[in-house]
Amino acid sequence: MFIVTVTYTAPLEDVEPLRPAHGDWLKQQIARRTLLVAGRQKALTGGVYLAPQMPVEDLGRLLATDPYVVGGVADHTVTEFTPHLVVPGLEALTAYE
């Protein structure tokens, strides 16, 4: 499983015009289960995604299609981890080893 941290590399006024396309892209990825969770950072400096286990190259190709990346306003940092302990109700996350 992966934690993907999104960091804006441009001012918010440059990010905003890409927000609708980015939102559509996120909805598509959630529907396909190529992303499991997506949200904004509270400081409005970017976002965070949770992605299931997949070849890291596939994740890189997927993230390269993010409209924020295509538009040159954000970068991604990827951290791979193995979930072992979860709260009741989220046991399915441990299947993504």
pLDDT tens column, 3-38: 999 999 999 999 999 999 999 999 999 999 999 999
Average pLDDT over residues 42-53: 95
Of 89, 90, 83, 36, the closest CA to residue 62 belongs to 36
The model's pTM is 0.90
**Inter-residue contact 66 to 74 (CB < 8 Å):** yes
In this prediction, residue 34 carries a pLDDT of 96
